[in-house]
A and B are shown apart, each in its own frame.
Chain A
Amino acid sequence: SQQGEEDPQALSIQEGENATMNCSYKTSINNLQWYRQNSGRGLVHLILIRSNEREKHSGRLRVTLDTSKKSSSLLITASRAADTASYFCATLPSGAAGNKLTFGGGTRVLVKP
């Protein structure tokens, strides 16, 4: 079963606009990570935010984490056609041995040129 719920399931925007997607999860976490997947194949790690962090930036990406609401958001600013992909949040539960990630269902983003 999947830990996270992502919202929206699909998002269509124009190039240059910002894209925001949200992730909710159920259990306490060690960290939350965002991944991108093109064409249903390999995932690319984007950013990791720890449970004691509230916001993190990486280039055009901004991630927030609210552990009281068990939710996170990913903002992509000034989107490009190359950002078209599916985006997944993944959580590492607190106390988990190793690095066993639990993924959400993903948000499919289409950036129109």
Chain B
Amino acid sequence: GAGVSQTPSNKVTEKGKYVELRCDPISGHTALYWYRQSLGQGPEFLIYFQGTGAADDSGLPNDRFFAVRPEGSVSTLKIQRTERGDSAVYLCASSLGQGGSETQYFGPGTRLLVL
């Protein structure tokens, strides 16, 4: 079966613009996670969904970042008024449930470059 997919794979935008990043989790996975990875560093947690609701959004850096998962499947990460510091790889992962031992399956990421 298909793994986690993310679109676009690369996005170049200008400072101040709005961007949307999409994640398609593995079918049947109820939990979905967004992470951000800056160059040379490990991923940092942004937000996770259990079903349609954001169960923990404590990692979102500020109110320019927002994510939705309206039908409990596909999720969109939205960034308003992008800044150069937002440039990073945005990774999405999904897991079957939200238990602590559930394996998270990662997508290939979206590389965002803000000029």
User: Count of chain B residues with Cβ under 8 Å from any Cβ of A?
Assistant: 33
Which residues of the partner chain A approach B109 to less than 8 Å between Cβ atoms? Answer: 40-42
Binds B, one of A43-51, A61-69, A70-78: A43-51
Chain A interface, number of residues (Cβ within 8 angstroms) = 28
A31 close to chain B: CB less than 8 A: yes
Q: Is B48 a contact partner of A98 (Cβ separation < 8 A)?
A: yes
Q: Which residue of the partner chain A has the closest CB to B59? A: A100
Convert A1-22 into 0s and 1s, putting 1 for each residue whose CB lies closer than 8 angstroms to a CB of B. Answer: 1101000000000000000000
CB closest chain-A residue, reference B3:
A42
A30: which B residues are within 8 A, CB to CB? 100
Number of A-B contacts (CB under 8 A): 77
Known: A103-B42, A104-B42. A44 touches B101 (CB 8 A): no
B103 to chain A: closest residue by CB = A45
Given the complex of chains A and B, what is the CA–CA distance between A59 and B98 in angstroms? Answer: 27
- Contact A41 B98, beta carbon cutoff 8 Å: no
* Chain B residues within 8 Å of A, Cβ to Cβ: 4, 31, 33, 35, 37, 39-45, 48, 50, 55-56, 59, 89, 91, 93, 95, 98-109
* Known A42-B4, A48-B101, A98-B31; 20 more pairs at CB < 8 Å: A1-B44, A31-B101, A35-B106, A41-B108, A42-B109, A43-B91, A43-B93, A45-B104, A97-B55, A97-B98, A98-B50, A98-B98, A99-B33, A99-B102, A101-B33, A102-B45, A103-B42, A105-B40, A105-B41, A105-B42
